[in-house]
Amino acid sequence: MAAKTKKASKATKDPTRGMPGWDVLLRDAVDIPGKVAECYNLFHDYSMGNMLLAYWQCIGRNIECGPIGTYKKWAALGRKVMPGQKAIILCMPRSWKYTTKNKETGEDEERVGMKFIYKPFWFVLSQTEGEPYEAPVLPGWELGNAIVNLQIEPVAFTMADGNCMGYASERTFAISPLGKHQNATTMHELAHIVLGHTQEADFSDTKDRTPRDVREMEAEAVAMLVMDALGDKDHKESRGYIQAWYKGNEIPEANARHILTAASKILDAGRTTPEED
């Protein structure tokens, strides 16, 4: 009788092992001027979080930074991934449907759940070979596009307080015409809306609302990321403000993800095609 052999157990590999958290990626973006702009130029088709994640892996693995794509995408462009190349890991949303009972009616309701998973499906241009690659034109960005696509409305500034340069309420915002940093203030108020702060009734500090200092930090971080990506220099004070906030606080993972997601929404909403520029 042949001796039975044990099957080797395959340990499930955790793709996130050794990967930075969103809080770490955000802190790097804050501390290193120009990093976000470089990431946006290279990886603008991806979310802000994945831009920073791809850049982090390229630098850490000494891979020449460049456009990224899946194996199939590179094949479609006439290029193939070179042997022995390790894929870049990005974060992907995954949804699923489930049924639950409505507590009031007792009837079954279908809902959709969402989670984020990490998958190693992407390769950088420098990891491929084949036909010459021509990078697509970087999309433009217009504030008007962002306002329309985000369903936000600018309104007249009516506050008498001379120290207030802008404010937001529900889906509207107003900017003082006397403000020195018009772009930075506008982006800060847009960030409040996209982050959902204006849906938390008034801006008072209570247990069921985001504390004011956290709201301001989140909005300032979003404004800084968007303006950095677009090469807008009208936000020098933002970086210092966030760095000063870091001295006494750490940004939790959930808040960091919230910030990165909001920045992505604003960038995507304002995009224009080359024909529109």
Q: Residue 220: what pLDDT? A: 94
Q: What is the pLDDT of residues 181-205, one digit of tens each?
A: 899 999 999 999 999 999 885 544 4
Q: Residue 7: what pLDDT? A: 47
Which residues, 6+ apart, have CB-to-CB distance to 18 below 8 Å?
Answer: none
Q: Residue 110: what pLDDT? A: 79
Q: What is the pLDDT of residues 51-91, one digit of tens each?
A: 999 999 999 999 999 999 999 999 999 999 999 999 999 99
Query: Contact, 220 vs 196, CB < 8 A?
Result: no
pTM as predicted = 0.84
How many other C-beta atoms lie within 10 A of the C-beta of residue 99? Answer: 8
Q: Residue 19: what pLDDT? A: 85
In whole angstroms, give the CA distance from residue 43 to residue 41. Answer: 6
Q: Residue 102: what pLDDT? A: 76
Q: Residue 207: what pLDDT? A: 54
Q: Residue 233: what pLDDT? A: 82
In whole angstroms, give the CA distance from residue 234 to residue 185. Answer: 9
3 state SS of 63 = coil
Counting as low any pLDDT under 50, the low residues of the chain are 1-11, 203-205, 277
Q: State the distance between the two ends of the chain, measured CA to CA, in whole angstroms.
A: 77
Q: Residue 74: what pLDDT? A: 97
